[in-house]
Amino acid sequence: MIHSASSSSPSARSDALAAASVAAAPVRPAPAPSDQIHIDLSSTLRLALQQSPEIRPEVIARARAIAADGSYPSDTILRAISAVIINAPDLSEDHS
């Protein structure tokens, strides 16, 4: 014999409805973020920026290596970029 998983008694149903209404209580929205600036955070960022070198040797070395590589960018990349440019709409034309 197969027994029902749910109760058919009216009190069980009302208990379930009450529990569902409590669970579905409206959620208060989070307060809107205010436009504030935190000086302590900006000073930390400014300090980190001052401590980083203005010229990064590893980036210069990579740029020189790319510039010296005659196959960069590859033909595949050049063709893909060319196709995007050719297929892009001409926004200077008036289509009204």
Q: Decide which of 26 and 43 is more confident.
A: 43
Asked whether residue 3 is domain-assigned, the answer is no
**Mean pLDDT computed over 4-9:** 51
pTM above 0.75, yes or no: no
Asked whether residue 10 is domain-assigned, the answer is no
SS3 category, 33: coil
Owning domain of residue 74: 39-88
Q: For residues 19-42, b (16+ Cβ closer than 10 Å) or e, as one string?
A: eeeeeeeeeeeeeeeeeeeeeeee
pLDDT at residue 18 in the model? 54
> Between the CA of residue 7 and those of 2, 3, 15, 58, 86, what are the distances in Å?
13, 10, 11, 71, 68
Confidence at 58, pLDDT banded by 50, 70, 90: very high
Asked whether residue 49 is domain-assigned, the answer is yes
The total number of structural domains that make up the chain: 1
Asked whether residue 25 is domain-assigned, the answer is no
Asked whether residue 93 is domain-assigned, the answer is no
Confidence at 25, pLDDT banded by 50, 70, 90: low
